[in-house]
Amino acid sequence: MVPYQNHFIGGNFIDTISGSNDFAILYNDSLHNVGGINIANGLQVLKLVEFQGKLYIAGNFPSYGNFGANIVSWDGQQFSSVGGGTDDFIWNMKVIDDNLYVVGAFQNAGTVQSQYIARWDGINWHTVGNSIFNCILVDVEEYNNELYIVGCFDIIDGLNINHIAKYSIPFCNRNEKKLMSIFIQILVRMN
C-alpha cells in the first residue's frame, strides 16, 4: 500500500463477491473499490507510485479500456493512459529527478523501443541509454547522482556484468535529460 491523497491504496485484493483482484483504497477503516477496475485472476499489481500528483499503478495486467497494458494512472477520479503502456510486465517504478523510471520484462514502452527500462516524463516515453541486456531488470535506484539497476542479466553490451550495474557519472545531463550508456560494474557480485 502507498499513501495517496491522505488515504492508503493497494492492489491484488480478492473481492469476496466477484472473486476478482481489485484496486482498493482504505478510508474510514474499510476498503473501497477504486474506479471500477478489475484485474483478471492470476495477473498482478506489482508497484504503486505517486508521480506528478497522480497515482501510477503498474504490474502484469492487460489493457484496461483504451489505456494500454501493464501501467495506468489514477487522478483520484478516473484512470488515464500512460502513453499506451508496455508490451510486457513492469516489475518496478521509481521517481527520479521528476521522471518516472520503469523496469521489467518489456521491450517497448508505448511506441518507444526500450529494452527492459524506460523513462516517463509525464507526457512521453523515452529510452534510457542504448545498452543491450540479456535479461530483465527488476529494480532501479538513484544514489549519489548515479543510476543503479538490478536484474537477472549477466551481460550488458557484450561485457560480463553480473546482476548489478550503474551508469557512469553523471548518469543524467540535467540540461539534456539523456542518460549515458556506459556501464561500470559494481564490485559486489551476486552469484
Rounded Cα distance, 155 and 39, in Å:
34
3-state helix, strand, coil split of the chain in percent (to 5) is 0, 55, 45
Name the percent of the chain lying above pLDDT 90. 27
- Is the pLDDT higher at 133 or at 64? 133
54 or 18, higher pLDDT: 54
Report the candidate in 88, 90, 182 with the shortest Cα–Cα distance to residue 138.
Answer: 90
pLDDT at 132 over 70: yes
Q: How large is the average pLDDT for residues 118-134?
A: 89
Res. 185: pLDDT tops 70: no
* 58-67, 100-109, 143-152, range with the lowest pLDDT: 58-67
Classified as helix, coil or strand, 108 is: strand
Over range 33-59, report the average pLDDT: 74
Long-range contacts of residues 179-187, Cβ cutoff 8 Å, at least 24 apart: 179/119, 179/128, 179/129, 179/147, 180/129, 181/129, 181/130, 181/131, 181/157, 183/131, 183/156, 183/157, 183/159, 185/159, 185/160, 185/161, 186/148
If one compares 105 and 161, the residue with the highest pLDDT of the two is 105
Please give the model's pTM, rounded to 2 decimal places: 0.77
Q: Give the pLDDT score at 103.
A: 95
Domain segments of the chain as ranges? 2-185
